[in-house]
Structure 1
Amino acid sequence: MRAADTEPVAAEDAADAVLVGLDGLDGARRRTDRAVARMRSRALARTGDRAVRDALASLVRPGDELLTALVGAEAGQDAAAEVRAAAAALDPALEVVVVDGGQPSPALLLGVE
């Protein structure tokens, strides 16, 4: 392996070390790992007909703080309102962020953390 092949990774590690301090790098990685482990997601091929409500009912757990919905091109016109209403019915304290992603598939991508 040439040194040039490893330099970008070494540079990224060095930048991380500067940002969080040499002792804090492992802690930052552990916090990131824990955050990723707490995230759950679900992709829906369609919206409406209770699909969003049923998906959120199985996805949202006590203590969840944030629901992110990425609305695709094939989602129904009321998908954003449907997500907000279903989330409010499950947990009024849950923060909801809806993004018009426009992706061709899935119709709706839900992420909870």
Structure 2
Amino acid sequence: MSKICKDGFDREYVKEQREVYGIAYTQNALSGRWKYLILWFLKPTERRYSEIKAFLWNISQGSLTKQLRELEADGLISRKVYPEVPPRVEYSLTSKGEELIPIIDLMEEFGKKFGEHVD
């Protein structure tokens, strides 16, 4: 349905599909198995790479790095490198990323309501 190239959405698609562009844009920004959970985990505070990796214990280092880079490229998270030895890197939500938190919260509530209950 959505025509996405390496530079974003095809202009013709945007013109022809204005009514669904917003959904397609949001879906594209959140596409990736782990992005929802990364954003949720960053919700309360900034986190170091090792904290995110520990939270998502079964993600490969390559996948986590890719997901973080994509979230940063889309302007949803920021990456701050501290000039220390060894270097310390922290990730946090941007204001754009914070705008997605109500959607993530709704997803959490939906899952609690309709997902399997774990005792």
Question: Which of these two proteins has the greater Rg computed from alpha carbons?
Answer: 1
Hey, which of these two has a bigger chunk of helix by percent? 2
Question: When the two structures are superposed, what TM-score results if normalisation uses the length of structure 2?
Answer: 0.28
Hey, which of these two has a bigger chunk of strand by percent? 1
Question: When the two structures are superposed, what TM-score results if normalisation uses the length of structure 1?
Answer: 0.29
